[in-house]
Structure formats: C-alpha cells, structure tokens
Chains A and B, each alone.
Chain A
Amino acid sequence: MELSGARILVDGLKREGVEYIFGVNGGAAMPIFDALYGETEVKLIPMRHEQGASHAADGYARATGKVGVALATSGPGATNLVTGIATAYMDSIPMVAITGQVFTHYIGSDAFQECDVIGVTRPICKHSYLIKSSDEIADVVAEAFHIAKTGKPGPVIIDIAKDAQNNEALFQYPETVNIRSYKPQVHGDPTQIAKAAALIKEAKRPMLYAGGGVVLADASEELQQLTLNTQIPITVTLMGLGAFPETHPLAMEMPGMHGSCCANYAFTDSDLIIAIGARFDDRVTGDLSKFAPNAKKIHIDIDASCIGKNVPVDVPIVGDAKNVLRELNKQVSTADIDPWRDQIQEWKQKYPFEYEQKSDIVMPQFVIEKIYEHYSDAIVVADVGQHQMWAAQYFKFTEPRQWLNSGGLGTMGFSLPAAIGAQLGCPDKTVVNINGDGSYIMTIQELVPAVTMKLPLKVFIINNMYLGMVRQWQELFHGKRYSAVDYHDNPDFALLAQAFGATGLRVEHPEDVEPALLKAKGITDGPVVIDFIVDEEENVFPMVPAGAGLGDVIRGLS
C-alpha cells in the first residue's frame, strides 16, 4: 500500500516500539506532526523549545535504556536541537533526532528556514541521514534505530525534505538490518580476558574503576559480581553512579576533580586499575603525568578509539561490558589484598565528604542529605554546576539509571526537560530534579508541558544566587573577580512556579527544609518547585585544581 512519507515514518517509529516523541512543530515538519495527530501508540509530547525536546528524549533514554526520539522543523528548529544532540553524543545516549528539511528543489538555495543540519551536526552525532525521497524512509528509520542503540550508543539524525514527507511510497519495513560497514565488536578477545584475570591475580593494590558504559551496557549485575567475587575496592564515575551501590563497604565513591579523597588516593597508590566503560576523562585523571604512576591498566570498552586515548593501557579489551565481565567473572576469585583494603577503609573513614553545618542558613549539602533521606528510591536528574557535584557526593545511589546528568558536555538546562522524559518513561517512579538557579532558568519554559501533563516532578532548586561553580573558580583562581556570575536578580522561583500553574515553595531556614520536602511528597497532581535559598558562597570540596595531580586534592575542611 502506498503511504505518505510522513505516515511511513510514524509507522516505522511504531515498529521500533517508540512510545513518546518530543517535539516542537514548524513549517518543514508539518506533515510529520500531522501524521502524529491523534496517534495513541506513538504519543507526541509538545515541548516549548527544541532544546527541551532533545533533552527530554535524552532523559527518557537514560531512564529506560530505550531510544529517545526528538522531532523539530528545519533551520532554527534543527539548530535548537543541537545542544541536546551534543549532550547525548558526549554521554553515548541512544537517540534519534528527526528534523524537517525544506523541499528538495530548495535545498542549497538559502531558502526560508533552511540550514544544513547534516553539516552542523556531523561532529556531534553517531550517524546522520538526509532523505530526499519517500521510498528511503522505512530503511533509514530501521537503520537509524539499529545504529543508535547498538555498539557504543549515540544520537542519529534523520533530516527529511518536506516533499519526501508528502510524497507517497510503498511501505515495506525491513525485518532485519544488516549494514556491511557497521559491525560492533561486542565479545572481548578471550586471550585478553585471560591476561586481565592473570593481572588481577598478581595485583597487590588493585582497584575497579567503572563508568557510564556499565550503565549503558546494563552490566551492573556483572560489575557487582566482579566486585563481590574479587572483593576489590571500586570507584564509580559521575556517569556510572548507581552501577554499584555507594552504600557498600567496598565503594570508594566517585573519583576525580570533586570526587572522594579515598578514590583519588587509591588511584595514586594503586598497582592495577581495571577500567570498565570509563574513558579516563580529564575530570577524573587530573594531570595525566601524575595519574596512577604505579598502576598497570586493564581497559574494557566497546569503543576501540577510547582505549589508549588518554592513558597508555597494558591490557585493552574491546567489547560490550556485559559480555566481557561475564567471561572475566569465570576466571577471578577473592583477591588476597587485606593490607590494601585496610588502607582504603582508613582513607574512607578519615576523609568522608563533609561540610560545616550552620544554624541560621541552609547549607546546600544539608538539602541533598535530606533529599536522600526522603527520596532514596527516586530517579535523580541533576543539572550542571555545584548542586550537581553535591548531589553526586551526598546522595548515595544504589541502582543503575537512578542518576541522570550531563556528565560529558556539562549542559546547563539539561535537567528539567530530561526529568520530563524520565518521568514519562518511568511513570511508577518518583523523579526528583535537583537544579541550580542558573541552570533552571535556562530551560524553565519546560515547566509548561510538565504542568499540562500533571507530571508529579519534584523540582528542587539549590539557589545560591550565583553561577556557583564559576564563582567558586573565580574565588580560588581569579582573585574573587565575580565577572558575570551574580544572579541576585533571579526572579522569585516559587511565585514563578505558581504562575506556571505548579506548586511553588520557598525555603530559607534550615528547620523548614524537611517539612517542605515532606509536603512535596504529598503533591502528586503536578510538579512542585521548591526554591531552597542556600549559603551563597559555599564551595564544593574536595577539589583537585585544574592541571594538578589527584594526590594534590584540596580536602576543604581541615
């Protein structure tokens, strides 16, 4: 049967099991929006800005593990998606972004709302397609979803000319996808795995270093088995939080710039690092020349280009973390490393995350501790900045996909729309959005669809009236010259929430923190926004200054 290109697209999305598509309508995408009108199987979620649409699709993908889908028109619609696409790319999130494009005969003519979106997004997507004919759509949709979710996941862009959306073609959806040039290596080389097992056996001061790849590969169970089998201490990165329960005695908490002293000291003293789905990011390693000088490295990663990119590796293993860990688990046993474990425990006890409590002012860390106390099972979606670090430090994550944040690109404005995606994907979970006053206002408009859909989001703003992380750097490294970070002109976020139709509360005293959190728990018919007015100049510690080695961590409270 002949169908319009737009109808073929929507039917293809159904075949891929898409539940939600987040979008903003516009001229060159109108046939697609028309095909989605009244659809119940693929539900269209209208957002208020295309950036919100791409973050919502991303949040949905992070929370569920399924492919998130965003939709926008050509030109400005497409360019507004770009930040969300780059965010997903940096964290390897499976996403398909669909953009309308001007009519094929206008392409290249600087037509109204024309933009070469394929060119613009080339370095920030896993792959992209420009569709000029309706009969290509079915095959491209199937390929795009296959590429987005297999191997190292990532965003794929489908740019469809308006005439291809309108014209009719035969709908034949491919049953299988076979791309001759794309065969991800998912099984680790057995010889390499055996070498890794041998190194683990010999090591005296080994540590596990797990990242977001473990979450993406759904390999948390295998990671926990490896940790328990070997009893080797483990640090989980910002992107991997929840892959191993932070409440476990072997957990050293997050490493890196604002990570635990324990994890950073462990790196510095370790003789074997077993990296799993982590990429030795500069925020983790600090000065590379001082990083883990005595350690051999085993690196398990699905992406061969990530191995040896920053740090020389002794045993590279290319493969899917789940498969590789399964094999590795068969070859390891409890490590005979009691003195090392004792050392780790000593560091853990000596240098916990800590702050000075104050009686007259709300401390941001205190708010996070209380959020953890009352919402320990929630999905936490953080934005980017000081509040993100405090949330990572003081909330003890125990489940994969419980913690969502923009780790790689560090995109302010990510969290509110991402929380919408997460809530739709996980309707039975409580979704807590921990936001900053700077980041919240960057995508505040997405409170509109959250109110419209009556999503019971808990939006908690850690409001210090500053672009806090930048202010902290200015305080420490720029002689307190607070250039462009003073946000004392913030609007009243509680009143503003009410204007949006949400519940808005403001908390200014420590004793009001808990009652407000409890009140928010009871509000289930729509979003609640709590504006926590916190200590303005509190800093995030520990801190490894940029360019310093992990051993030179500034502990903060002495």
Chain B
Amino acid sequence: MNPEERHIFSVLVENRFGVLARVAGLFSGRGFNIDSLNVAETHDKSISHITLVTHGDAQIIDQIYQHLNRLIDVIEVTDLSTAGTHVERELVLIKVATDDPQKRTEILQVAEVFRGRVIDMKPTSLVLEITGDEGKLKAAIDIFNTYGILELARTGKIAMLRGKEN
C-alpha cells in the first residue's frame, strides 16, 4: 500500500440542482472518502465553489482528480495540495457550558486567545465563533472540551490558491 496523503480540491461547478449529488456519488460509488465538503454560490450566481478534502494514495488522488474533471457540470478542478501555495480557513461554532459562573470569565479569556467571538450568551451556555486553519481549530476544540462542549458545528474547510505575485 502506498502512503496516503491528504488533498484539498477546489472545484468550480455549474450552480444547478443535482450537481452535488454527482460529485458525492463519484466518491461513494468508488469507496473514496470525503473528509470535509463545503459548497456555496460564488460571486457569479451561475457557479458554485466546492472545497473538498479527501485522502488516498497517489493513484486514488489521481483518479479523484480525473473523475471530477469528467463530470459534465464541473467547470474546473484544482488540486490545491499540488497546484501551488494556497490559503485555507474553516469556521467553527462551539456552544460551551457555563453552568459555573466562575468559569465563564476563564472561558472568555481562552476564547480571546483564539480570537473567538461570542455570538450568543445565555445563563448556562455561550456560543463562540472561531476561524482558523485545522491546527488552530483543533487546539481550540481540545481546550473547550475541558469546559464541556454542548454542541459543535464546522463549515468544513474552504480554500483557494494565493494570488499571483505580479
């Protein structure tokens, strides 16, 4: 077995119903994994941007790339892991338990370390919004776990190539 690698694909597709099912079906039908998936309309309403994180050996990654390209509704596929340097972000919403009012201040201080924003606060819980790369989100989640996470939602990674130098 060849070593497995993690790859981020940026995929531009026609913004039509059924396109996501075709992309997802390509993975499920071949037993390939999707680690995370994000889909949304771009500034051009006719185009959606998919950021798809997957893993596999070089042969599987190549097959994923080729099969994505083969879908009629796919306009452009970029393997960000090989196409040059890219930027990536993910947003997470964390609802943390604050039953103990003493702890609330502490949690808010920790949130500040991660540049988190409080977007909801109730007597026994608060919701934080944190943005970052994978490592930062993992660190944040690990820490807040020690206070008690009630609920967590992530957007999945979004990514794009960096702009050209000139």
Answer whether A and B are interacting partners.
yes
Indicate if the CB atoms of B73 and A181 lie closer than 8 Å: yes
Q: Does A479 contact B (CB under 8 A)?
A: no
In contact, B66 and A305 (Cβ under 8 angstroms): yes
* Contact of A181 (CB < 8 Å), options: B14, B25, B63, B67: B14
A18 interface contact, C-beta 8 A: no
If A118-B18, A123-B25, A130-B18 touch, does A182 touch B72 (CB 8 Å cutoff)? yes
A123–B72 touching, CB < 8 Å? no
A91 at the interface (CB under 8 A from B): no
Give chain B interface residues in 33-92, CB to chain A under 8 Å.
59, 62-63, 66-67, 69-70, 72-75
Report Cα–Cα, A118/B21, bound state, in Å: 10
Q: Given the complex, which residues of B lie within 8 Å of A179, measured CB to CB?
A: 72
Pairwise interchain contact B21-A181, C-beta atoms closer than 8 A: no
B22 within 8 A of A: yes
> CA separation between A118 and B73, bound complex, in Å?
15
Could you give, for residues 10-22 of chain B, a 1 whenever the CB lies within 8 Å of some chain A CB and a 0 otherwise? 0001100110011
The answer to whether A305 and B73 touch (CB under 8 A), given A118-B18, A122-B22, A123-B25, is no
Q: Check A305 against B21 for contact (C-beta < 8 Å).
A: no
Q: Give every chain A residue within 8 A of B123 (Cβ-Cβ).
A: none
Contact indicator A181/B72 (Cβ below 8 Å): yes
Would you call A126 an interface residue if the criterion is a C-beta within 8 Å of the partner chain's C-beta atoms? yes
In the complex, what residues of A have CB within 8 A of residue B67's CB? 305
**Which of B14, B59, B70 contacts A303, CB < 8 Å?**
B70
Q: Scan residues 158-197 of chain A and give those whose CB is less than 8 A from a CB of chain B.
A: 179-182
Counting CB contacts under 8 A, is A550 at the interface? Answer: no
A122 and B74 CA atoms in complex are apart in Å by: 15
Return A252 CB to nearest CB of chain B, in Å: 29
The docked-state distance in angstroms from the alpha carbon of A221 to that of B112 is: 72
Nearest CB in chain A to that of B46: its residue: A180
Considering only CB atoms, which chain B residue lies closest to A128 in the complex? Answer: B18
Q: Which residue in chain A gives the minimum CB-CB distance to B67?
A: A305
Chain B residues with Cβ below 8 Å from A304 are 66, 69-70
Distance A179 CA – B16 CA, assembled complex (angstroms) = 14
A126 contacts B72, C-beta separation under 8 Å: yes
Nearest CB to that of A184 among chain B residues? Answer: B70
Query: Is B135 close to A, CB under 8 A?
Result: no
**Distance between Cα atoms of A128 and B22 in the complex (Å):** 10
Q: How far, in angstroms, from A7 to B19 measured CA to CA in the complex?
A: 29
List of B residues within 8 angstroms of A182 by Cβ? 72
A308 at the interface (CB under 8 A from B): yes
Closest residue on chain B to residue A123 by CB atoms: B29
Nearest B-chain residue to A119, judged by Cβ: B21
Question: When the two chains form the complex, which single residue of A123, A130, A180, A308 contacts B75, counting CB atoms closer than 8 Å?
Answer: A180
Taking residues whose C-beta sits less than 8 angstroms from the other chain, chain A's interface range is 10 to 19
Question: What CA separation (Å) do A118 and B16 show in the bound complex?
Answer: 14
The dominant DSSP class at the A interface is: mixed
* Interface presence of A127 (CB below 8 A): yes
Give the residue of B14, B21, B59, B69 whose beta carbon is less than 8 angstroms from that of A122.
B21
**Could you say which residues of chain A place their CB within 8 Å of the CB of B18?**
118, 128, 130
Judged by a CB distance under 8 angstroms, whether A57 is at the interface is no
C-alpha gap A179/B73 in the complex (Å): 9
Known: A123-B29, A181-B14, A309-B63. A147 touches B72 (CB 8 A): yes
Contact (A305, B70) CB under 8 Å given A118-B18, A122-B25, A130-B18: yes
Q: Which residues of A sit under 8 angstroms from B29, Cβ to Cβ?
A: 123
Chain A residues, CB < 8 A from B22? 122
Q: Are A308 and B59 in contact (CB under 8 A)?
A: yes
Report the minimum CB–CB distance from A111 to chain B (whole Å): 19
Question: Which residue of B is nearest A308, CB measured?
Answer: B62
* Complex: chain B residue closest to A181, CB-CB: B75
Residue of B nearest to A132 (CB): B17
What separation, in Å, do the CA atoms of A119 and B20 have in the docked complex? 12
Smallest Cβ distance from B87 to chain A, in angstroms? 25
CA distance A247 to B44 in the complex (A): 58
Taken together as a complex, chains A and B put the C-alpha atoms of A128 and B74 apart, in Å, by: 14
Which residues in window 90-132 of A have CB below 8 A to B?
118-119, 122-123, 126-128, 130
Q: Chain A: which residue is nearest B66 at the CB level?
A: A305
- Chain A residue numbers with a CB within 8 Å of B75 are 180-181
**How many angstroms from the CA of A179 to the CA of B13 in the assembled complex?**
12
A432 to chain B, nearest CB (A): 36
- Set A127, A130, A303, A309: member contacting B72, Cβ < 8 A: A127
- Enumerate chain A residues within 8 angstroms of B69, measured Cβ to Cβ: 304-305
Q: Pull 19 A–B residue pairs with CB atoms less than 8 Å apart, ordered by A.
A: A118-B18, A119-B21, A122-B21, A122-B25, A123-B25, A127-B72, A128-B18, A147-B72, A179-B72, A181-B14, A181-B72, A181-B73, A182-B72, A304-B66, A304-B70, A305-B63, A305-B67, A308-B62, A309-B63
Known pairs A122-B21, A128-B18, A181-B74; list 4 more (Cβ under 8 Å): A119-B21, A182-B72, A304-B69, A308-B59
Q: What 7 pairs between A and B have smallest CB-CB spacing? A: A305-B66, A181-B75, A127-B72, A123-B29, A304-B66, A182-B72, A122-B25
